[in-house]
Amino acid sequence: MFRALLNQPGVLATTLAAAGILAVTMGARQSMGLFISPMNTSTGLGIATISFALAVAQFVWGAAQPVAGAIADRFGPRPVLIGGLFIMALGSALTPFMTSGLGMVFAIGLLTAIGSGSSSFSVLMGAAAQRLPLEARGTASGVINAGGSFGQFVFAPIVQKLIQGFGWMNAMWALALMTLAALPLIGRLTRPIEQPVKHAEADHGVLRTIGNAMQDRSYLLLHAGFFTCGFHIAFLVTHLPGEVDLCGLPPSVASWSLAIIGLANIFGSLYAGSCVAKYRSKYVLAAMYGSRALLIALYLMAPRTELTFYLFAAGLGFTWLATVPPTAAIVGKLFGVRYLATLFGLTLLSHQVGGFFGAYLGGLAITRFGDFGWMWYADMALAAFAAVINLPIREAPVVRPAAA
């Protein structure tokens, strides 16, 4: 499975550097739900208001991806990644000073989201793909994706301990410092390798490439499926602590559930990366989305105990962000890797539009109904829809019209 990485000079180091950066940015981002309750207690803003700020962050994180990807495709990934980490750290550092809903939207919804989006999947996958041979990309995407899951596994319990021991404000400032720890890895990722990889696809320009993509049915179906993935993940990462609290369980259950999700997705991401080289990616995606619908149904029928949450987290974690390698693989098959950061960034925008609704509607549901019942049913239905919508996708490369 890892032979393509180990046998190429510089390939493994490039892959691990991208995985390390993603571990920091995704670990910090996916731990934000742990702050909702203490922030609400401290500021009195209300769960719906804080949920809205996190929902805006979901959308802005996705909106930043194609923009950051296009800039990286044009000027290189190094300045984008450096700027992204500093902006993300600034947003975390300013959050404790915000005492209004608008301030929370600015710090969390804009700054941290723009920063994390500029140093996340689209730029990292694009930077790695342009430096890796074709046979290594599938496995490398799985390893990079596993880095984000490892970050969630590490950050969630640490952040919870910091909140409990030092308060949410100090925990947020510590998060800002931890974000900057990824800066040394940027040089390794963006350093030219000894033998640059040659890519066969022609360069038709970013605007024309986007225009061709938006007319392709398979690309649009991929967007639709990824939308539901974003709804699912944002709802859970934002409101799982609230669901745990409704069940009368301690906050540690929520933090360990998020950590288990990250740990399980390390294996899921590596497995997904290997499956990309063996099976059609659309079938891999359909199986992942279908398993989510089944797991949610089982959760709704199970007793609400600590063991239930841990088993539920392990099951969901296996496919949590493991959808990224096959999705990126389909985009690469259809349009090549020259503008992969831009085109994959656009699919992540669709993902995060779904994420906005998942985070915000969850906050409205708990405020109006007192529980998340309707959200679970919607989540299950959308997961089933995503499984079906991926099946008609065509994975052959798109035939581009010749230049006039």
Q: What is the pLDDT of residue 397?
A: 60
Q: What is the pLDDT of residue 170?
A: 94
Q: Which of 69-73, 115-119, 331-335 has the highest mean pLDDT?
A: 115-119
Joined together, the tokens standing for residue 228 give 């539901």
**Over the stretch 351-400, which tens digit does the pLDDT of each residue have?**
888 888 888 888 888 888 888 888 999 999 999 999 999 998 887 665 45
**Over the stretch 183-231, which tens digit does the pLDDT of each residue have?**
988 888 877 655 544 444 555 666 777 887 888 888 999 999 899 988 9
Joined together, the tokens standing for residue 163 give 């909140």
Contact status, residue 212 vs residue 400, Cβ threshold 8 Å: yes
pTM: 0.71
Give 211-280 as a DSSP string: HHHHT-HHHHHHHHHHHHHHHHHHHHHHHHHHHHHHTT--HHHHHHHHHHHHHHHHHHHHHHHHHHHHS-
One-letter amino acid of 25:
T
**Over the stretch 72-125, which tens digit does the pLDDT of each residue have?**
878 888 899 999 999 999 999 999 998 888 999 999 999 999 998 888 877 887
**Over the stretch 31-46, which tens digit does the pLDDT of each residue have?**
888 888 898 888 888 8
Block residue for tokens 């993300």: 88
Which stretches of 44-133 are DSSP H helices? Answer: 47-75, 77-94, 101-104, 113-118, 121-129
Looking at the chain, the number of H-run helices and the number of E-run strands are 19, 0
For domain 3-195+205-389, the CATH architecture is Up-down Bundle (1.20)
Question: Could you say which DSSP state residue 120 is in?
Answer: S
